[in-house]
Structures are given as structure tokens and as C-alpha cells.
Amino acid sequence: MPLFPRKPKYTIVKIAKKSDIPQDLWTKCDDCGELIYNKKLDESIRVCPKCNFHFTLGARERVKLTLDEGSFKEFDANMESLDPLNFEGPSTYKQKLKKDQDATGLKDAAITGEGTINGKSVIFCVTDSRFIMGSMGSVVGEKLTRAIELSTEKKIPLIIVSGSGGGARMYEGMYSLMQMAKTSSALSRHNRKGGLFISILTNPTMAGIMASFASLGDLIIAEPKALIGFTGPRVIEQTIRQKLPPNFQKSEFLLNHGLIDMIVHRKNMRDTLTKIISCV
């Protein structure tokens, strides 16, 4: 036995039990896989500090980020969807609505209203992908159409922020599909009256929403790395049996091919909108 035993070259660390580790502290980036401390993610307006991927932002957060503090006056706040088809499945349509209402604090997938950006009045609308994937049913279509018509009447700029991976809400059947034509018709009248419509596309903006009002902006702005299109890339590859180009349907690809007009980082969106509407 040695007189002076050697000290180990390693440190003994006591491993905490799983129950001792605080939950909901980290978020994994959907794009690069980076683990991000949630406090840091919130400080960066929910943008990955490593790869610049823009996470989902709720409708209320979007209003707070874009408009002057306290200026937003919401329209049709209590409008709720009915269940015209008495839809039933693993869960009913009414159950899905109730679940997402409780989770998001919203009545449906869109909020609309009037506010100001640096003192300039705008009609501001947001679809929220947390509510049945931001899909457009009769309530979303009606709220957007009313907002568009008010923008036309008051002759002030219209801004719609789109985030929908669900497109038309098929729980409502044809009532849902009719909203594509209704919103597009309202925007056509808005355009003929010389109104300005700025469409902002976030991740994801797909299907019936992209095939209607989201693609009809006088100016179409997208956040970086947003998935934008009608059908998702995996479905397209399976259908045509061909490999798609890198970043197909991402903002950067679509900017290079002329579908959108510019890509703007979330932190710069308010300043960009200020410059645009100041020209009106």
C-alpha cells in the first residue's frame, strides 16, 4: 500500500435525478438542432441565435411587437365558429375548438383590428398557427373580409400576417372553401380603390391561405426560412417522384424565383413597415 496515494485525475460529480431537473428550460431549434435556453430565446424575439430560424409567434405577441403600445382596437373579438357539419372523429370539431381556445386564449385562429405604427393608422390582422394550424374557417374568413372592407372604406393601409399550415378548415366543408373566394374578392375591390395591402408570410404559410389572400399583397414580405407554398415538399416529391431543389418552398428560394418581394428579419419588421406606409 503506497504511503501517499495518488489523487484521481477526475472529478466525481453527483448526477441529479430527473425529477430534480427543472422542466421547460430549453427549446430545440427545428432547423439546426441547437438547444436554446428559453429565456435567451424570448429575448431574441423567438429567433434562433445560431441559424436565424424564426419560431412561431402568437397573434397577441405579434400585435405587441408590431404596433404602437396600447393602440390596437380589436374587431369582432367574440366571434366564434359553429359546427355546420356536426363533425365527428376521434374528437369532435367542437372539442377541437374548445381545446385550442383554452390553449391560446383566442376565440378562433385570427385576430383583426385597427392600430398605429409610429402614429400611422393601419388595419392589422394576424392568423395564429397554434389554433388548428391557423386554418381558415368561416370565422377567420369573415373577420378578414370585414377588416379588408374597413381598410377600403377608411383608405388606410392593410397588413395581414399569415401563419397557417392548415389552409382551409375542412371541418366546415364548403363553408371553409368559400372563404378563399370571399377574401380574394374583398381584396380585389380594395385594389381597385387604390388601397395598399402588405402581406407578411411566416412559417408556415401553406395551402388555402397561400392560394388566396396571402399571395395577393401589393407587397409580399416573408420572414427568413419560412415554409411557403400550397402542398408540402414531401407530398410533392412523393407525387412527382423527383428530388426537389435545396430549400424548395423556403423564403430564400421563393425570393430568388420572384414569388415574394423581400425577406425581413423579425426584429426589423416594424421599421420596414414604417418606411413603407410612410410613403402612402
Tell me which DSSP letter residue 167 carries.
-
pLDDT by residue (tens digit) across 73-92?
999 888 988 888 888 888 89
The model's confidence at residue 14, banded by pLDDT at 50, 70 and 90, is: low
Instruction: Quote the pLDDT of residue 21.
Output: 45
| Structure confidence at residue 153 (pLDDT) | 94
Characterize the bridge pairing of strands 110-117 and 262-263: unpaired
How much is the mean pLDDT over the chain? 85
Question: What's residue 89's pLDDT?
Answer: 81
203 in Cβ contact with 223 (< 8 Å): yes
pLDDT digits (tens, 9 = 90+) for 166-191: 778 888 888 888 999 999 999 999 99
Q: What integer pLDDT is reported at residue 33 of this predicted model?
A: 80
What phi and psi values does residue 270 have, to the nearest 5 degrees? -60, -45
Contact yes or no for 222/254 (Cβ under 8 A): yes
- Per residue in 226-240, pLDDT (tens digit) is 888 777 677 776 777
How much is the average pLDDT of 203-217? Answer: 87
Please give the backbone phi and psi of residue 131, each rounded to the nearest 5 degrees, phi first.
Answer: -105, 100
- Lookup: cell for 31: 432547423
Share of the chain above pLDDT 70, in %: 91
CATH fold of 56-277 reads 2-enoyl-CoA Hydratase; Chain A, domain 1 (3.90.226)
Question: Pick from 254, 252, 244: which is nearest to 210 by CA?
Answer: 254
For the chain, the structural domain boundaries read: 24-55, 56-277
